[in-house]
């Protein structure tokens, strides 16, 4: 399927309309007075998108660098949790859960494991995330967590019932030197924040994460599409979208859209505030 001129115009106007609506929600009298001269110039560059959006947008695979790397990691030998038990980092029961969780092959098996160990499951996940230091091991464990949450976002509610503000347990991983660890952690954090409406934190409590995402919006970022996916989820929430705008995040999105991005990345960023 190809993109015609009408669809391209819809792309650009969808973004501009959302910028305008966000300004209205903030109680601004005049949208033009709110944006800076630099932002106004950047908005004018949207016309350049005609030459960079390719015909492959609609058929492009969503799975990017992070997904491919995650599949490679899952193909590696399982983690040996015995040293953690022997060194008393985890208890016997936590060891039993983490081993069963790791070797569960299907969603049903994972669901049964989580149900059997109840709150201990989620508490152990957080405990392990905070004590594992070996990059190869934390990579593998984070993929397991992300896959589990992806299967059923309803698990977020159970997570928050067992652990207070569980997303914060992953914040330290955003400073990891390993790019994959940082970005798979951001996916998990996004799911834990967005997953269940009744327990979503206030915008002020997630500003740190929103700013981290904003700083990751760079053309050179190999995981840019993963960043876009996180924003697509979070910016569906009005309060988060307004907080992101206050951090000058919207102008960062507009600027990245003028770069030579892949069609899928352009599509994601065009609608991440929609």
Q: How confident is the model at residue 173, as a pLDDT? A: 97
Give the single-character DSSP code of 4.
-
Q: How confident is the model at residue 44, as a pLDDT? A: 52
Q: How confident is the model at residue 39, as a pLDDT? A: 53
Structure tokens at 190: 């996004």
Q: Hey, is 137 helix, strand or coil?
A: helix
Output the CA torsion 73→67→130→101 (10° steps): -60
User: 58 and 271 in contact (C-beta within 8 Å)?
Assistant: no
Tokens 């960079």 sit on residue? 52
Query: Within its chain, how far is the Cα of 235 from the centroid?
Result: 11
Largest Cα separation within the chain, whole Å, is 64
Q: Please enumerate in sequence order all residues whose Cβ is within 8 A of that of 43, keeping only pairs 6 or more positions apart, or say none.
A: 16, 35, 254
User: 181 and 217 in contact (C-beta within 8 Å)?
Assistant: no
Closest among 182, 263, 256 to 226, alpha carbons compared: 182
Q: How confident is the model at residue 36, as a pLDDT? A: 59
Averaged over successive runs of 10 residues, the pLDDT of the chain (274 residues) comes to 48 48 43 53 46 32 74 93 94 96 93 95 96 94 94 90 94 96 96 88 95 95 92 93 93 89 82 63
SS3 percent helix, strand, coil of the chain, rounded to 5, is 70, 0, 30
Q: How confident is the model at residue 271, as a pLDDT? A: 75
State the angle between helix axes of 107-117 and 92-103 in degrees (0 to 180), rounded to the nearest 10. Answer: 170
Q: How confident is the model at residue 40, as a pLDDT? A: 55
pTM above 0.85, yes or no: no
Q: How confident is the model at residue 13, as a pLDDT? A: 46
Distance from C-alpha of 116 to C-alpha of 240, rounded to nearest angstrom: 35
Q: How confident is the model at residue 153, as a pLDDT? A: 85
Task: Tell whether the torsion through CA atoms of 259, 263, 266 and 268 is positive or negative.
Answer: negative
């Amino acid at each position: 399927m190809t993109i015609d001129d009408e669809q391209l115009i819809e792309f650009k106007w969808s973004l501009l309309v959302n910028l305008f609506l966000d300004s209205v929600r903030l109680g601004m009298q005049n949208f033009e007075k709110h944006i800076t001269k630099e932002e106004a110039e950047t908005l004018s560059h949207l016309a350049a998108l005609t030459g960079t959006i390719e015909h492959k947008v609609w058929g492009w695979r969503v799975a990017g660098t992070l997904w491919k790397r995650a599949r490679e990691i899952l193909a590696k030998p399982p983690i040996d949790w015995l040293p953690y038990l022997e060194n008393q980092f985890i208890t016997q029961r936590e060891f039993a859960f983490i081993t069963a969780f790791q070797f569960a092959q299907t969603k049903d098996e994972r669901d049964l494991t989580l149900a059997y160990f109840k709150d201990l499951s989620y508490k152990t996940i957080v405990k392990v995330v905070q004590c594992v230091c070996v990059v190869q091991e934390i990579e593998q464990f984070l993929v397991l967590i992300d896959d589990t949450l992806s299967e059923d976002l309803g698990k977020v509610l159970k997570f928050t019932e067992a652990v207070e503000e569980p997303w914060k347990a992953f914040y330290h991983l955003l400073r990891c030197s390993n790019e994959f660890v940082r970005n798979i952690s951001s996916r998990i954090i996004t799911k834990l924040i967005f997953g269940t409406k009744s327990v979503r934190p206030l915008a002020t409590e997630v500003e740190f994460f929103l700013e981290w995402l904003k700083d990751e919006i760079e053309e050179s970022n190999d995981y840019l599409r993963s960043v876009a996916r996180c924003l697509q989820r979070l910016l569906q929430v009005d309060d988060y979208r307004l907080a992101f705008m206050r951090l000058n995040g919207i102008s960062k999105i507009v600027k990245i859209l003028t770069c030579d991005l892949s069609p899928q990345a352009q599509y994601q960023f065009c609608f991440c505030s929609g």
